[in-house]
Chains A and B, each alone.
Chain A
Amino acid sequence: MIRKFFQFNWKRKAAEATISSSTILPNKRILASAGPESSVVAAAAPPTPVTTASNGMDSEDDFMSAVSSEDDILPDDDSDNDDMSDAEDFDFDDEPDPDLGMHKDISDSKKAPFDISFKVYQPSDIQRQQDELINEVNMILDISKEEAAILLRHFRWNKERLIEDYMDSPSRVLEAAGLSQTTAGPLKREVIPGFVCDICCNEEEGLQSFSIKCGHRYCVNCYSYYLSQKIAEEGEAARIQCPADGCSLIIDARSLEILVAPELKKRYHALLNQTYVEDKETLKWCPAPDCQNAIECPVKKKDLDKVVPTVACLCSHRFCFGCREDDHQPAPCELVKRWLKKCKDDSETANWISANTKECPKCNSTIEKNGGCNHMTCRKCKHEFCWMCMGLWSEHGTSWYNCNRFEEKSGLEARDAQAKSRVSLERYLHYYNRYANHSQSARLDKDIYHKTEKKMVQLQKESGMSWIEVQYLNSASQALQTCRQTLMWTYAFAFYLSRNNLTEIFEENQKDLEMAVEGLSEMFEKPVTELADAKLKVVIMDKTSYCNKRRIILLNDTADNLANG
């Protein structure tokens, strides 16, 4: 039994290694870019992993054969043409590809330092993954599928640990997970003479009742009301216990089938999927509204200061796997959090106050001078001082209204603090304005694109250009969006950078990208009739790929420097 399990385990590992890398040479099947561990696994793998599949594991077999069919995972040799824009090529996902339907590996064949590998799972994939694990545990441990599911959830889907612990002491594992050790007959609604429901105290003849293995029996009405309340109101699914006081037995999916309405079953399974994704550290939901996909990414939380794991869902939403915010390359998550807080915080208001006002040297009241002469009289404490040098007015003697006492010590400190604050504010505003500008421009670019798109459809009809022929505008718009997103965050990033040689390189890169982006953005503002011109089309396509290239160079450099500290 254990032997069999290891076989599965090993097989799965091999399968994963095969999927996660897209750099397999057609004839050799050796992982080029993978680490030493996985390449050992791959090297040890027989030429066709499918042949090792054990009988009875149909889903596993499908899984294997699907991913190991060559045309799915093997990049063609042409990929050496160094077309960097491939990394952002989303059209790639739109191709209907039944074999690839179960997983899509978007990572480019040429791995850039800022690129991380990830997979997008659709709801059916998430379901299938769970089913596979459940089936395995179901076979290995000889328990029902429903119980296997409960055990797996209890162990947060760590199958290895579950099996190990279970082999050690089945009774302890079962009890901790809320399962009974008794084997009872099939669970069903029953009419038991003389039965009184302990929840509603109903004692009618012929009252249908139900209980799970613990034997705590309640009428079907109460049982299903209890379940629907847990599911619909509390959003609970994985850990609904028997309604009896102090009984911690978990109600499994099969009992639920017997008791609740179909629409609640749907919700129940959605909730179970949710716990599956939330239980696994390597899985996260795509945060786009109405998107039901989940992303798998191996980046660990502790590495987030070194990498910015931007992933792209099939719905085309790009986000950071670390913090689920919108794509914020090249700035690391921690910095993004600080920046967003800074932009939102009232501390910036305080910054304005300290840059535009002064404090009364005596009572520290905040004063904004909005006109008049330098002779200030504090309204609060009646202290008289000079706005220019902050010194006592009485010391000014005859040089009234014309302060030349700049070297006087009494006002020096106040002025120093003032100047510092002003510089830091201006520095912040410099970066913030550019950050906000790109954010706004990205929105405007999108608006223009939507307008253009409509006109292009019109043009398609009039000039006879095909749908394919106008797609260059789509990729240009995509490039603009992603580049602006990146630019936006380069400014937040730069705000926190201390000045050195690397920052100069960074700023050069930033400048190059910015110029390219503004150039492309300008193209979009041309009238539609000009846009349709073949010459302009070439220019736009050139500019698009140039923008993408500049962006990748910037991200590469930054990612390298981040990784090296």
Chain B
Amino acid sequence: MAQQSLKRIAKELADCKASPPTGMSIDVASEADMRRWHVVLEGPANSAYAGGKFGIVVVLPAEYPFKPPTVTFATRIYHPNVTNDSSGNICLSLLKPENWKPATRLLAVLEAVRSLLVEPMPDDPLESRIADEYRSDRNEYNKNANQYVQRYAMRSVSFDAAANEGGKKGSGGH
């Protein structure tokens, strides 16, 4: 299966590079490791994250596409569905093992992440405090989200930082 899986990954990568989705640039972390993708996502203009650049790490398991990829934010972000720490875990229903469909493309996953920035889902939160704020005090939420953008998402994206911050020194080197 692993060989099959690489063929699929190569095809997806080629498609993504040939016609990159709006506001994203996609590449593999290194030529040797096709299973780790580095994506830079521009904060959508109609969202609280406009102007920011967010690093997203996509890791494809050996059983991909029969098992879902893991998707994490490498850049800190203030969002109800992303853990407010250096691990940057995302809650996205289509990435749950029981919901994952092998025919789902990474492009669709990345699009889903992007639309999560435009429209957070406070009913399914990872950060319930931020979700409450999003529901009850939108201005305060916008302000905080923007503050995070100013603080973390205005410089050039570093994927190493996340790995280092998480205590796994050197694992992201290339």
Residues of A at under 8 Å CB distance from B? 198-202, 216, 218, 221-222, 225-226, 229, 234, 236, 241-247
- Tell me how far the C-beta of B140 lies from the nearest C-beta in chain A, rounded to whole angstroms: 35
Q: Which of A200, A221, A229, A247 has the most CB of B within 10 A?
A: A200
A200 in contact with B5 (CB, 8 Å): yes
Q: Is the Cβ of A218 less than 8 Å from the Cβ of B1? A: no
Taking a contact as CB atoms under 8 Å apart, the answer to whether A199 and B103 are in contact is yes
A116 to B105, CA, bound (A): 56
CA of A412 to CA of B44, assembled, Å? 72
Answer whether residue B148 sits at the interface, using C-beta atoms and an 8 A cutoff: no
- A242–B103 Cα distance when bound, in Å, is 9
Residue of A nearest to B8 (CB): A201
* A200 adjacent to B103 (CB under 8 Å): no
Chain B interface residue count, CB cutoff 8 Å, equals: 17
Give which listed residue, B98, B102, B104, B108, contacts A236 with CB less than 8 A: B98
27 contacts across the A-B interface (CB closer than 8 A): A199-B8, A199-B65, A199-B102, A199-B103, A200-B4, A200-B5, A200-B7, A200-B8, A201-B4, A201-B7, A201-B8, A201-B11, A202-B7, A221-B4, A222-B4, A222-B102, A225-B1, A225-B66, A229-B63, A234-B97, A236-B98, A242-B101, A243-B101, A245-B103, A245-B108, A246-B101, A247-B101
Q: Mark B1-42, 1 if CB is under 8 A from A, else 0.
A: 100110110010000000000000000000000000000000
B101, A241: Cβ atoms closer than 8 Å: yes
Residues of chain A with a CB closer than 8 A to B105's CB: 245
Among B94-121, those with CB < 8 Å from A are 97-98, 101-105, 108
Known A-B contacts A229-B66, A234-B97; A244 and B8 likewise in contact (beta carbons under 8 Å): no
Name A's interface SS: loop
Chain B proximity of A216: nearest CB distance (Å): 7
A200 to chain B, nearest CB (A): 4
Partner of A244, one of B5, B97, B98, B103: B103
Which of chain A's residues has its CB closest to B63's CB?
A: A229
B5 and chain A: residue at smallest CB distance: A200
Assess the B98–A243 pair: CB atoms within 8 A: no
Q: Which residues on B sit within 8 Å (CB–CB) of A201?
A: 4, 7-8, 11
Question: Closest chain A residue to B99 by CB distance?
Answer: A241
Chain B residues 57-87 with CB under 8 Å of chain A are: 63, 65-66
Give the complex CA separation of A225 and B5 in angstroms: 12
Least distance between A229 CB and chain B CB atoms (Å): 5
Given A225-B66, A234-B98, answer yes or no on A245-B104 (Cβ-Cβ < 8 Å).
yes
- Contact call B8/A243, Cβ cutoff below 8 A: no
User: Nearest CB to that of B65 among chain A residues?
Assistant: A199
Cα A199 to Cα B12 with chains together (Å)? 11
**Minimum CB–CB distance for A56 against chain B, Å:** 40
Question: Which residues of chain A are within 8 angstroms of B11 by Cβ–Cβ distance?
Answer: 201
- A247 CB to nearest B CB, Å: 8
Across the interface, do A244 and B7 meet the contact criterion of CB distance under 8 Å?
no
Question: Once bound together, how far apart are the Cα atoms of A385 and B146, in whole Å?
Answer: 63
Q: Which residues of A are found within 8 Å of B101, using beta-carbon distances?
A: 241-247
Give complex CA distance A201, B7 in Å: 7
Q: How many angstroms between the C-alpha atoms of A486 and B102 in the bound complex?
A: 54
Structural contact, A216 and B103, CB atoms closer than 8 A: yes
Q: Given the complex, which residues of A lie within 8 Å of B66, measured CB to CB?
A: 225-226, 229
7 tightest Cβ-Cβ pairs between the two chains A and B: A200-B4, A245-B104, A201-B11, A201-B8, A244-B103, A199-B102, A243-B102
Which of chain A's residues have a CB closer than 8 A to the CB of B103? 198-199, 216, 218, 243-245
CB distance from A236 to the nearest CB of B (A): 7
Instruction: Provide the residues of chain A in CB contact with B4, threshold 8 Å.
Output: 200-202, 221-222
| In the complex, chain B residues whose CB is within 8 Å of the CB of A236 | 98
What B residues does A202 contact at CB under 8 A?
A: 4, 7
A218–B97 CA distance with the chains assembled, in angstroms:
20
Question: Are B7 and A226 in contact (CB-based, < 8 A)?
Answer: no
Other CB < 8 Å A-B pairs besides A200-B4, A225-B66, A229-B63, 4 of them? A202-B4, A218-B103, A246-B101, A247-B101
Tell me how far the C-beta of B3 lies from the nearest C-beta in chain A, rounded to whole angstroms.
Answer: 9
- Across the two chains, which residue of chain B brings its CB closest to A200? B4
How close is A465's CB to chain B, nearest CB, in angstroms? 60
Report the minimal beta-carbon distance from B102 to chain A, rounded to whole angstroms. Answer: 5
What residues of chain B lie closer than 8 Å to A200, measured between beta carbons?
4-5, 7-8, 65
The docked-state distance in angstroms from the alpha carbon of A178 to that of B5 is: 29
Residues of chain B contacted by A246 (CB below 8 angstroms): 101
Closest to A247 in B: B101
Interface contact B102-A226, CB-CB below 8 Å: yes
- C-alpha gap A200/B8 in the complex (Å): 5
Nearest chain A CB to B69's CB is how many angstroms away? 14
